[in-house]
Homo-oligomer: A and B are copies of this chain.
Amino acid sequence: MQVNNLRNLADLAPIHVWESVVARRVEGERITLAVVELAPDSVVPEHRHPSEQLGICLKGALSFRVGEETRDVGPGGTWRILGEVPHEVHVGPEGAVVIDVFSPVRSDWDALPMAEQAPPAWPGRTDGG
């Protein structure tokens, strides 16, 4: 019997992906699914990685660049970043919560530092009711 295939976000350990970016993740064999909290006015500088990355904004606002495309993104905005395509994010003044999924899995994240335990920024009391 497999266990722990059904878990609440609040029970997943937060890690620091960037200084102002905290993620909680569900790990499969092929996919990493991460709920990612980005601090107000933070910047994820241009970077790239072998894993494909798809995502969607749950809360807040950001400006997303994928390759040569740039767009303001709010809740329901999506992105598709094929492997090794450079991308960067500028977060709005209220911060943002997004979902990012990666394949292959981000095993490189295993080396990242833990973040302080804190309640997830999403869902809040007014989200998803």
> Interface on A for B, CB 8 Å cutoff?
1-10, 12, 26-31, 33, 35, 52, 54-60, 64, 66-71, 73-83, 85, 99, 101-104, 120, 122-123, 126-129
Show 24 residue pairs from A and B whose CB-CB distance is below 8 angstroms, ordered by the A residue.
Answer: A1-B67, A1-B69, A2-B66, A2-B68, A4-B80, A5-B80, A6-B64, A8-B76, A28-B54, A29-B52, A29-B83, A30-B30, A30-B52, A31-B31, A31-B54, A33-B55, A33-B56, A57-B128, A59-B127, A75-B128, A76-B120, A101-B101, A103-B103, A126-B126
Cβ-defined contact, B127 with A79, below 8 A: no
- Bound Cα distance A54, B57 (Å): 17
